Amino acid sequence: MSKDSYIHKLLPGEPGSPLIFAFHGTGGDENQFLGFARELVPGATVVSPRGDVSEMGAARFFRRTGEGVYDMDDLIRATSKMAGFVKAHIAAAKPSQVLALGYSNGANILASVLFAEPALFDAVALMHPLIPFAPEVKGSLAGRQVLVTAGRRDPICPPELTTRLDAYLRQAGADVSLEWHDGGHEVRPNEIEAVKSLFASATKGAAA
């Protein structure tokens, strides 16, 4: 369990402020959502890791054998490693709450960590996740706020799998919001506003 198990960037926040983890998509890096995360909650500490797997030069958080076909053994490895990384930063920051956002492959590793360690995060934004398997949630997601964003014409993440993920999360007790747009795999303004609303609600609730 090490804070340095991934190459990452850290923007220190105010003592006792929220801690935000930001996970990039395939081909992104630790800079992709760093500034965006800081804008969401000014004063928060932001940690943004770089995926440790290379797919023809594109950084990812776990291996796959094809589009939507995951190397499940490597996903288990990556989930355990990422959970340890998250725990180490939580222990160091001692934050008021823990928030996280991820896009595409970043949303997938975030979701996998959420399933494995439901108590780690207070609020999570999964932007265009693709979970082509039935997740096993190791506990309850009761009290956890989860936002899922998706495109109705997303060629990578079929809408029916988004709907199925929504159902899995609700069955595990999560407070789920689902935000759609009519496009594909791109991030649109309504998604950004939904993430802002999620984190504003989470931090307001903590302050109260």
Active site residues: 104, 154, 185
C-alpha–C-alpha distance, residues 181 and 151, integer Å = 5
Q: Are strands 58-60 and 53-55 parallel, antiparallel or unpaired?
A: antiparallel
Burial class (CB in 10 A: 0-12, 13-18, 19+), 33: buried
C-alpha–C-alpha distance, residues 157 and 68, integer Å = 8
Name the nearest CA neighbour of 24 among 127, 124, 97, 93: 127
Q: Give the per-residue SS3 of 80-130.
A: HHHHHHHHHHHHHHCCCCEEEEEECHHHHHHHHHHHHCCCCCCEEEEECCC
Sign of the four-CA dihedral 57, 110, 162, 179: negative
